């Protein structure tokens, strides 16, 4: 099912520009001074513990596009999103973006169990870059969307995990950024709520906002995205429409 | 210069540019905090609320803890060890220094653990990282204010009871000394806290080292004893280092604000006992400010240098 995918012609303007990006991780850490001191003298093979999470990534995303990032676990999808949000910095290459972004990397990262739903909406809204006025304006809408009006002054620790995620997702989706980075958060809540979320994503997409979505669900990706990027071991294997890329990936994996 | 600063402030309060490329995660240090005031306020409120959650006495603990500490020191250092006889107005003298050192300890400790205790946020969402140490500082400040009020009332009562005319001798210099003391200790504690917070991301040893330092801070500054006691036994060079430390300088500024002059004027014991120190008061304080400034700059540089790795190392 494709609601708006075909009706939109993506603006040619580039909003995410990634050039020759490389990201390395050290696999073994020393968490005490003693360990690193010992390592300094024993010269344990440092070069062997490096792991290339992303290698020479070049990617341009245009305004209004919805790009799905697919690939197996550990292929670098989430790492790529983290480079774009600025939480991590690439070891080589560059990332440049335009406009305000909201990383739904992990919904509810800024939530604190000891605060009430109301306080969490304010705190998380501010963390995601909303001003006080914006939050006040959107507050009722957020509460209504989450369906938690009754428990809004209850501490979040008493929420069920579903309720928690619904509230967190509601805040995130109301931040009105130009660029959404969504990481596996579409698996939130029950069917009905998920439908509501996807509906909301379509609305936002219609407003010419840009999306980058990580998901393992082919259905969801096909529903929302008009472009898919397949990552494998930190390398872009294919980039194109879902109909082009999914057969390639399935053939490769089987 | 002024133009440049105001331009920086203006651009920093703008929203993210919509039609211009920028590199995500690149920060301008403390300048980024200008448009994060609302978030800062919420982070502080969260911290304060969470700390006393589920406790019956709640915020009252901020009064109890320093009061007990004060009482113990006052009894044992004041009476058993004879501090009362050596230092004029020992109660105020002790409390002024103690509250300042406690403030330093809290800022230093909270800043050091601020990145680790907010690891969930640091790892997942990009925010100017300076937010966390500054929030820690603001939390400590909310704990310091009740102590300051007690200190102020007590010093007024004592000044008044020794001679009513003393009340009219509160002048600008004392208020300035108080403000400078707070400024000095804040700069130093935040700077040192940022340095240790950065180290703490990579090596958890920093936290333990900070514990050791905060344990000593009360003793390595003229809080429990008079600095002259120290000058009599310590070698001169060591005494100079001791007095130039930002903690000592801030404590002496506080003593000046709350104990010295004011209580001595109109008092029949009024002897300018601190004239020895007063001669070097300004150079010592200036050097201490210089040291604090260096700590803050180094802290900021370290943050800037390593903040790209905070998320993955935590």
Residue-wise pLDDT tens digits, B266-305:
443 333 445 445 557 788 899 999 999 999 999 999 988 8
Q: Are B167 and B159 in contact (CB under 8 A)?
A: yes
First to last CA, chain A: 26
Which pair of structure tokens corresponds to residue B152? 């102020």
**Residue A98 to residue B21, Cβ atoms within 8 A:** yes
Considering CB atoms only, which of A86, A112, A127 is closest to B25? Answer: A86
**Residue B120 to residue A109, Cβ atoms within 8 A:** yes
Residue-wise pLDDT tens digits, A100-146:
877 666 666 778 888 889 999 999 888 888 888 989 999 999 999 88
Rounded to a whole number of angstroms, the distance from the CA of A106 to the nearest CA of chain B is: 7
- What pLDDT, on the 0 to 100 scale, is given for residue A3? 47
Report chain B (314 residues): mean pLDDT per 10 consecutive residues.
55 56 75 82 88 78 84 89 79 90 95 90 84 93 88 79 63 82 96 94 90 92 83 85 91 81 43 50 90 95 86 78
- In the three-class reduction of DSSP (H, G, I as helix; E, B as strand; rest coil), residue A20 is classed as strand
Neighbours of A133 (CB within 10 A): 9
Mean pLDDT across chain A, nearest whole number?
Answer: 81
d(CA A105, CA B80): 60
- What pLDDT, on the 0 to 100 scale, is given for residue A39? 65
**Residue B125 to residue A128, Cβ atoms within 8 A:** yes
- What pLDDT, on the 0 to 100 scale, is given for residue A10? 47
B305 touches chain A (CB under 8 A): no
**Residue A112 to residue B25, Cβ atoms within 8 A:** no
DSSP state of B15: P
B 194-213: CB under 8 A from A: 202-205
What DSSP string runs through A16-67? EEEEEEEEEEES----SHHHHHHHHHHT--GGGGEEEEEEEEEEEEETT-EE
**Residue A82 to residue B311, Cβ atoms within 8 A:** yes
- What pLDDT, on the 0 to 100 scale, is given for residue B108? 96
**Residue A100 to residue B312, Cβ atoms within 8 A:** no
Residue-wise pLDDT tens digits, A204-235:
888 888 888 888 888 888 888 889 999 988 88
d(CA A124, CA A109): 8
Neighbours of A19 (CB within 10 A): 15
Considering CB atoms only, which of A82, A96, A100 is closest to B21? Answer: A96
Helix, strand and coil content of chain B, in percent to the nearest 5, comes to 80, 0, 20
Looking at per-residue confidence, does A254 or B45 come out higher? B45
Which pair of structure tokens corresponds to residue A141? 């809408």
Considering CB atoms only, which of B123, B125, B205 is closest to A33? Answer: B205
Q: Which residues pair with A225 in a beta bridge?
A: none
Spatial CA neighbour of A214 closest among A108, A104, A85, A107: A104
- Chain A residues closer than 8 Å to B312 by CB: 25, 88
DSSP state of B34: G
Q: Are A214 and A106 in contact (CB under 8 A)?
A: no
**Residue A31 to residue B203, Cβ atoms within 8 A:** yes
- Chain B residues closer than 8 Å to A84 by CB: 24
- What pLDDT, on the 0 to 100 scale, is given for residue B14? 45
């Amino acid at each position: 099912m494709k609601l708006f995918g075909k009706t939109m012609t993506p603006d040619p303007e580039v909003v995410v520009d990634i050039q020759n990006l490389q990201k390395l991780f050290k696999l073994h850490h020393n968490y005490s001074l003693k360990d690193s001191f010992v390592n300094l003298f024993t010269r344990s093979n440092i070069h062997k513990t490096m792991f290339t999470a992303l290698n020479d990534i070049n990617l341009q995303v245009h305004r209004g596009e919805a790009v799905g990032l697919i690939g197996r676990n550990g292929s670098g999808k989430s790492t790529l999103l983290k480079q774009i949000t600025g939480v991590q910095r690439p070891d080589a290459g560059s990332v440049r973006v335009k406009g305000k972004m909201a990383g739904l990397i992990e919904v509810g990262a800024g939530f604190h169990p000891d605060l009430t739903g109301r306080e969490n909406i304010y705190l998380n809204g501010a963390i995601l870059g909303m001003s006080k006025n914006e939050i006040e304006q959107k507050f009722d809408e957020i509460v209504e969307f989450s369906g938690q009006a009754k428990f809004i002054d209850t501490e979040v620790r008493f929420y069920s995990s579903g309720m928690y995620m619904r509230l967190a997702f509601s805040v995130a989706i109301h931040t009105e950024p130009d660029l959404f980075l969504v990481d596996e958060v579409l698996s939130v809540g029950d069917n009905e709520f998920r439908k509501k979320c996807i509906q909301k994503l379509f609305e936002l997409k219609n407003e010419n906002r840009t999306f980058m979505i990580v998901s393992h669900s082919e259905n969801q990706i096909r529903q929302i995205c008009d472009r898919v990027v397949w990552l494998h071991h930190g390398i872009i294997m294919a980039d194109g429409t879902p109909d082009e890329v999914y057969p390639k990936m399935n053939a490769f994996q089987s | 210069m002024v133009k440049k600063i105001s331009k920086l402030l203006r651009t920093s309060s703008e929203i993210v540019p919509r039609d211009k490329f920028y590199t995500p995660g690149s920060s301008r240090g403390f300048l980024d905090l200008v448009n994060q005031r609302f978030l800062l306020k919420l982070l502080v409120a969260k911290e304060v609320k969470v700390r006393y959650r589920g406790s019956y006495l709640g915020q009252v603990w901020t009064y109890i803890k320093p009061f007990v500490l004060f009482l113990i020191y006052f009894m044992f250092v004041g009476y058993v060890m004879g501090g009362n006889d050596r230092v004029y107005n020992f109660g105020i003298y002790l409390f002024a220094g103690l509250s300042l050192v406690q403030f330093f300890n809290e800022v230093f400790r909270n800043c050091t653990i601020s990145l680790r205790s907010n690891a969930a946020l640091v790892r997942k969402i990009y925010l100017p990282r300076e937010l966390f140490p500054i929030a820690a500082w603001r939390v400590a400040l909310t704990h310091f204010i009740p102590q300051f009020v007690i200190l102020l009332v007590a010093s007024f009562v004592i000044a008044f009871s020794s001679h009513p005319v003393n009340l009219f001798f509160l002048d600008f210099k004392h208020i300035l000394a108080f403000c400078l003391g707070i400024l000095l200790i804040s700069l130093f504690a935040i700077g040192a806290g940022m340095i240790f917070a950065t180290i703490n991301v990579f090596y958890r040893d920093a936290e333990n080292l900070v514990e050791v330092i905060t344990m000593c801070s009360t003793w390595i500054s003229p809080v429990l004893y008079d600095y002259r006691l120290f000058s009599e036994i310590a070698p001169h060079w060591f005494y100079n280092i001791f007095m130039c430390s930002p903690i000592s300088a801030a404590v002496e500024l506080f003593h000046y604000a709350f104990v010295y002059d004011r209580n001595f004027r109109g008092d029949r014991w009024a002897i300018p006992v601190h004239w020895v120190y007063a001669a070097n008061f300004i150079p010592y304080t200036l050097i201490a400010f210089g040291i604090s400034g260096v700590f803050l700059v180094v802290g900021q540089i370290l943050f800037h240098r390593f903040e790209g790795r905070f998320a993955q190392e935590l």
